[in-house]
Chains A and B, each alone.
Chain A
Amino acid sequence: MLEILCVVDDDKIFTYLLKRIIEKAKIAREIIFFENGRDAIDYLNSHKEDALKLPQLILLDINMPILDGWQFLNEYGKLKPDVPRPISICMMSSSSEMEDYNRAMGSGHVMDYLQKPVQIPSLKEVTERVLSFLGPK
């Protein structure tokens, strides 16, 4: 089970559903929701010293106002060296375009790309990978 999971998505219905899925599948202890990339980056920036406040996994949507998924990745790249523990990012989108998949995986910060509607098994699989990556506490 993850300590902190971040969901960055502007679709309220989808985030509501995600919350229920995550709680049902007991994937994370704490879930923080952000409606756009700007809010998410601001949070990361203000807590970058504090390892306990930082998420292990971020589920990132592509289409959002103010700062979209790609722009978030850009900003995250600048902040990555300052972060004590690596954060895994998994992109989510209803887009099935190969270009989006390639762009995500090519950014260097994304570990996987899930297509909406997101199924529980896929989420679980991603979580397992993150946990094994982080190693035993």
Chain B
Amino acid sequence: MTPETAQHLAISDDRITLCRTGSATMKASQDGLPEQIAEFFRGIFSQSEWPARWYCGSWSDFHGWLYIVSDIVIWAAYFLIPIFLIRFVRSRKDFPFPKTIWLFIAFIAFCGATHLIDALIFWIPVYRFSALIRFATAVISMTTVYYLFKIFPNVLLLRSVSDLQREIDERTAVEEKLAESEFLLSAASNVGKLGGWEYDPATGQFRWTATCGNILETNEERIQNETDLLRFFPEPYQLIVRAALRESIDTGSSWDHELQITTATGARKWVRFSATPSLNASGQVNKIRGIIMDIDRYKTLELKLIKSIDQMAQKNSQLQSFTHILSHNLRNHSSNIALLADFVDESTLTKDNEELFQKIKTVSRHLNGTLDDLSQVIKIRDNHLEGEKLNIREVTEQVLGVLDENLHTSQAEIGMDFMEEEIVFPRIYLESILMNLISNGIKYKKDNQHPVIQLRFYRNEKGLKVLEYSDHGKGIDLSLHADKIFGLYKTFHKHEDAHGVGLFLIKNQIEAQGGNIQVFSKVEAGITFKITFNENA
């Protein structure tokens, strides 16, 4: 293994064994650089200028082979690793940073090559070639470093497998929730019989949710265009739907109609059909979305209710005119009787007949009185009078003025405690109420006592105005008469003026204006009336 060109010359007293070639040692750097480079490439594979490494210095077998084997193994590894990398890059096209991987492949391969050559130099001293390969390795390595530097931030962004797995888990959980809520929504819309739809004006095609199919009793996927849809609408409604769709497409206006449909099985149903167009960036209608809802149950009820109300209103007005006519005619007859009675010359009657005749006159008087009451009540019931702003004290004093004589005779004491001043109420009703209550108070005073009456006017906890009348008169046994006290012609005391109409009338007047009246009383302990007004009615 000793090449002729190499000579191992040992200088006897030199501790270092020098390597020398046959040619004289000449410093190669004595040539100029360009000459050196040319020389370099010309003899790229030449071995003549250096000894094989076995002969360069003292290499024990162990040392030499350790070096050689290590280099060979390194080369093997550095040869196999790129093969794996190449397989990765080729098979997984989505492997990140492919260019960098190729660079790695390259620099690892070259690095391996340098080690292989290093091992070979033990026999074939191709030092020039070795230098060139090293240079290439250096360039590729630095390029790789540069690339790594460039991609470093992106690498940091790469998520680890556990990150990705976590994200997948999260997404799966969200998808499950979504599926749940979609199910709930579609179940809800099924129960509520509410279907959604979408129309694309560009294609003229409809899309429907499953509930629409249930409502229309058909496979909703078969209803694709406007013609398909219109088949479900009977005549007058077809026009409405057609016009509404047209308008939405043209002007982007929304609509909401209650219409009748004929389902695929021939059933007639009321539906609510509405649409809301959505506009694209240039203001044109690109999609129309809406709902179709089965409102048959509600609509049918509504129509029945309206019919009932109409019927009732009709009956009511019939009743009103009936009572008018009846009371009018009755009054004609009763007034005639009264007049005729006036003309009879009672002096020509026998005693019996005269007595009977007197009774007839009394009956005629009562008849007229009853009819007067009737017409008053009818008037109150029919009309809701407009309220006016009244000063309670002023109206009370006016009523007291009218009753002045009675008050004087009975020596009545009237107390007024008005915490509020004004009330919006019809004047004649308020006068009637005060008149009735106060004159009742005088009428039903305790025997041998003069009437003591207290009037209060205030706002209650609900903010409504309340007029309170209380006295210390005879009172009423409410346990016996509670439900009759406001009844017509119900009297509770033997009093010639007990007409039984006053309370009935004022209750009607109060209620016609949206208020209410309550009574509190005990026998011999006076009576209290509480009238709650409702100025907003």
Residues of chain B lying within 8 A (CB to CB) of residue A94: 328, 331-332, 335
Contact check: which of A14, A20, A96 meets B343 at CB < 8 Å? A20
In the complex, whether A17 has a CB less than 8 A from a CB of chain B is yes
B343 touches A117 (CB 8 A): no
Alpha-carbon gap, A95 to B371, bound state (A): 12
Residue of A nearest to B340 (CB): A17
A117 touches B375 (CB 8 A): no
Q: Which of B257-293 contact A (CB under 8 A)?
A: none
With A20-B343, A117-B339: A14-B332 Cβ-Cβ less than 8 Å: yes
Inter-chain contact total with CB atoms closer than 8 Å: 28
Contact check: which of B336, B340, B375 meets A11 at CB < 8 Å? B336
In the complex, whether B81 has a CB less than 8 A from a CB of chain A is no
Contact check: which of A11, A20, A21, A96 meets B332 at CB < 8 Å? A11
Alpha-carbon gap, A117 to B336, bound state (A): 7
Residue of A nearest to B337 (CB): A13
In the complex, whether B338 has a CB less than 8 A from a CB of chain A is yes
Q: Which of A13, A21, A63 gathers the greatest number of chain B CB atoms within 10 Å?
A: A13
Q: Which of B313-329 contact A (CB under 8 A)?
A: 328
In the complex, whether A116 has a CB less than 8 A from a CB of chain B is yes
Residues of chain A lying within 8 A (CB to CB) of residue B328: 63, 94-95
Alpha-carbon gap, A117 to B337, bound state (A): 10
Residue of B nearest to A98 (CB): B379
Residue of B nearest to A115 (CB): B335
Q: Which of A11, A94, A95, A116 gathers the greatest number of chain B CB atoms within 10 Å?
A: A94
Main SS of chain A's interface residues? loop
Residues of chain B lying within 8 A (CB to CB) of residue A21: 339
Interface flags, A1-45, vs B, CB<8A=1, else 0: 000000000010110010011000000000000000000000000
Q: Which of A13, A116, A117 gathers the greatest number of chain B CB atoms within 10 Å?
A: A117
Min CB–CB distance A35 → chain B (angstroms): 15
A13 touches B331 (CB 8 A): no
Residues of chain A lying within 8 A (CB to CB) of residue B340: 13, 17
Interface residues on A, range: 10 to 19
Alpha-carbon gap, A5 to B328, bound state (A): 26
Residues of chain A lying within 8 A (CB to CB) of residue B338: 117
Residues of chain A lying within 8 A (CB to CB) of residue B339: 14, 17, 21, 117
B343 touches A17 (CB 8 A): yes
Residue of B nearest to A94 (CB): B331
Residues of chain B lying within 8 A (CB to CB) of residue A20: 343
Residues of chain A lying within 8 A (CB to CB) of residue B331: 94, 116
Alpha-carbon gap, A116 to B340, bound state (A): 13
Residues of chain B lying within 8 A (CB to CB) of residue A95: 328
A13 touches B343 (CB 8 A): no
Min CB–CB distance A82 → chain B (angstroms): 34
Alpha-carbon gap, A17 to B375, bound state (A): 24
Q: Which of B330-351 contact A (CB under 8 A)?
A: 331-332, 335-336, 338-340, 343
Interface flags, A93-137, vs B, CB<8A=1, else 0: 011100000000000000000001100000000000000000000
Q: Which of B368-395 contact A (CB under 8 A)?
A: 375
B343 touches A116 (CB 8 A): no
Residues of chain B lying within 8 A (CB to CB) of residue A13: 336, 340
Alpha-carbon gap, A95 to B332, bound state (A): 9
Min CB–CB distance A25 → chain B (angstroms): 13
Min CB–CB distance A65 → chain B (angstroms): 14
Min CB–CB distance B458 → chain A (angstroms): 34
Residues of chain B lying within 8 A (CB to CB) of residue A14: 332, 335-336, 339
Residues of chain B lying within 8 A (CB to CB) of residue A11: 332, 336
Alpha-carbon gap, A14 to B337, bound state (A): 9
Min CB–CB distance A33 → chain B (angstroms): 16
Residue of A nearest to B375 (CB): A96
Alpha-carbon gap, A117 to B335, bound state (A): 5
Residue of B nearest to A17 (CB): B339
Residues of chain B lying within 8 A (CB to CB) of residue A116: 331-332, 335
Alpha-carbon gap, A132 to B469, bound state (A): 52
Alpha-carbon gap, A116 to B339, bound state (A): 10
Interface flags, A65-104, vs B, CB<8A=1, else 0: 0000000000000000000000000000011100000000
Residue of A nearest to B325 (CB): A63
Contact check: which of A17, A63, A96 meets B336 at CB < 8 Å? A17
Residue of B nearest to A18 (CB): B339
Residues of chain A lying within 8 A (CB to CB) of residue B336: 11, 13-14, 17, 117
Alpha-carbon gap, A21 to B340, bound state (A): 10
Alpha-carbon gap, A21 to B336, bound state (A): 13
Min CB–CB distance A76 → chain B (angstroms): 23
Alpha-carbon gap, A94 to B340, bound state (A): 16
Min CB–CB distance B119 → chain A (angstroms): 131
Min CB–CB distance B154 → chain A (angstroms): 94
Alpha-carbon gap, A35 to B340, bound state (A): 20
Residues of chain A lying within 8 A (CB to CB) of residue B332: 11, 14, 94, 116
A-B contact pairs, 28 of them (CB 8 A): A11-B332, A11-B336, A13-B336, A13-B340, A14-B332, A14-B335, A14-B336, A14-B339, A17-B336, A17-B339, A17-B340, A17-B343, A20-B343, A21-B339, A63-B328, A94-B328, A94-B331, A94-B332, A94-B335, A95-B328, A96-B375, A116-B331, A116-B332, A116-B335, A117-B335, A117-B336, A117-B338, A117-B339
Query: 7 closest A-B pairs (Cβ-Cβ)?
Result: A117-B335, A94-B331, A17-B339, A13-B336, A116-B335, A94-B332, A117-B339
B residues touching A (Cβ–Cβ < 8 Å)?
328, 331-332, 335-336, 338-340, 343, 375
* Contacts beyond the supplied A14-B335, A17-B340, A94-B335: 11 A-B pairs with Cβ under 8 Å: A11-B332, A11-B336, A13-B336, A13-B340, A14-B339, A17-B339, A94-B328, A95-B328, A96-B375, A116-B332, A117-B338
